[in-house]
Structure 1
Amino acid sequence: MAPGYHESRLSHDPRRDVLWQSLWRYYFRKRIAPTDCVLDLGCGYGEFINNVTARRRIGLDVWNGSAAHLDKGVEPIVSSVTALDGVDDGSVDYAFASNLFEHVTQSDFAQVLASLRRKLSPSGTLTILQPNYRYAYREYFDDYTHISVYSHISLADFLRANGYDVIEVRPRFLPLTVKSRLPVWPFLIGLYLALPFKPMGKQMLIRARPQSGSAIHE
């Protein structure tokens, strides 16, 4: 990540804490079992992984300031997402990446997917939440660290091309940012997630798992 990024573009914002507490309550807790091992790739301030209830929680980020924001009980790993050596093979039931892969090259993304296949348990999955260029093209490059461009179609195709089966696609999952005009209130977030149509939805969610018998290339 670029020097100074967390002081400028991604400074800590209490509204994100409210958002992720609500996302856990209304969405993720129904999909993550208490017995799971959860890996948060690019965990940043820990808003997702700190709210997870699971047997084991791991937060990985290249930013060395990340560990200070993780709750007690979350295992910190300071590393690039392309280097998953600190994660045990076959141990991860639920891997998660929020607003991460638009910041890395396609070759690095492919390397992450190849490495992650070894780290996932037999029933393990990867969930990706990030901007959908189809709906966020006007604001996409307001973040100067964005490198790669994906829509819900191209991201799903990229996962398939790298040995994953796509099992869930939500083209409009959330608004692009907590800095929008919408108030960040828990009950409104729950209501929004329940809506069949997502007004201002510019972030997509895709869930995938390794194809059975797919080869690992690194």
Structure 2
Amino acid sequence: MAFTDRHSGLWLPPDQMRQLGPACDDVIRANRARTATAFGLDPDRVVFMRQVHGADVRRVSEPFGSDPPPTDGMCTDRPGLALAVLVADCGPVLLADPVAAVVGCAHAGRTGTKAGVVAETVWAMVRCGADPARMTALVGPTVCGHCYEVPLELREEMAADWPAARAVTRTGTPSIDLRAAIRAQLLASGVQDIRHDQRCTVESPELFSYRREGPTGDFAGYVWLEPEPG
């Protein structure tokens, strides 16, 4: 499991990316290939999603290609096939059951978390033979409860499903603790070994944050099974 940051590849501001036109895709492909190679992965064996803030999860055995379907979670039992989730404030969740040799990832923003994308990813892995009691979950950098200010109605809507999400900012205004909601969903799904990269995206300049910067780039979480020796 690993996370990138804004220093992991060539990054250009959004206005410059727009000016590149079709060449923008070349920059993205080059960045993804460079990152995969740095992790010892085959760039052609990394699966990216078309993330839509939903709760659909897919079992994958190969990359989707240039037109991935809308999904916010994936799992696989294929060694050497890496799963990638892109975020810039949402919660990237990486999961692994090393005994069953199954890994998964989820794009857990506010909407997807409320809809249960983390639990759906766990259960998709179970259908591949994984056991939540054996899983390790790594919750990556995300906007923290002190920085994720929302209207009171939106916070209470989230807290109605996941009470742990109820939070306040440093100035006392309503906010959502996305990390706490993700942890609660993992625990409710039977996952006990939950680890965290505690960085807040808004407070960490090495990470991308839509809340801090407006339109910006993404950092990524990667999870994969190493092929067996030989």
Normalising by the smaller structure, the TM-score range is 0.3 to 0.5
Q: Please, what TM-score do these two structures have when normalized by structure 2?
A: 0.38
Return the index of the structure with the highest Cα Rg. 2
Q: Please, what TM-score do these two structures have when normalized by structure 1?
A: 0.39
Q: Kindly indicate which of the two structures has a greater share of residues assigned to strand.
A: 1
Q: 1 or 2 for the larger relative contact order (CA 8 Å, sep ≥6)?
A: 2
